[in-house]
Amino acid sequence: CSSVIFCGESMQISMTALTPCLGRCSTVFGDSVCRGCRRFSHEVIDWNRYTPAQRDFIWLRLDQQLDQIILPLVTVKDAVQLSELLASRQIRLTDQASQGRQAYEALRICQRHPERCAESGLLLSAGQVDRVWQQAEQRLYELAVASFEFAWLRAAKFSSAG
């Protein structure tokens, strides 16, 4: 909750929980891993019931995947310029957002608005954006699915061991 002053009176308001959702959820169509945010289907469903620590753990996994895939594909040449682009587009990030997440969000902006590449802080030309975006999305989804399958294999191993 946050305090705001409205018409001279202080009021408590509830801030919407920051979520990895990108607005293109595929779990509603039966996918075990969302093609948008790459959370597992149960994480999408239970997000609002999770504790802050549980949410942070999921954010950490997603950011590690972004670091693993995005940073080898896209070089951050100017971190200040990158931050300024994200702020100007009002991109909400967690305080612990990784450089891979920041670069991914900038790449997403450039994919929609290639003319923004020059101000993105990324070493990326407008002509490279679509190819890099497609590679990133494909690799991120493959890594997320592998992570999901590994988690289920581990769970099955522990449940059969008892």
DSSP for 58-88, please give it: HHHHHHHHHHHHHHHHSEES-HHHHHHHHHH
pLDDT at 8: 46
DSSP run (H or E) holding 10: strand 9-13
Q: To the nearest whole percent, how much of the chain has pLDDT over 70?
A: 85
Query: Is the pLDDT score of 152 beyond 90?
Result: no
Q: What is the mean pLDDT of residues 141-153?
A: 91
CA 153 to the chain's CA centroid: 25
pLDDT at 77: 97
Q: Which amino acid is at 155?
A: A
Q: Binning pLDDT at 50, 70 and 90, where does residue 161 land?
A: low
Let me know: does 4 contact 10? Beta carbons within 8 Å: yes
Q: What is the dihedral of CA 154, 58, 52, 10, to 10 degrees?
A: -160
Q: Binning pLDDT at 50, 70 and 90, where does residue 141 land?
A: very high
Q: Binning pLDDT at 50, 70 and 90, where does residue 160 land?
A: low
Per-residue pLDDT tens over the stretch 40-93: 999 999 999 999 999 999 999 999 999 999 999 999 999 999 999 999 999 999
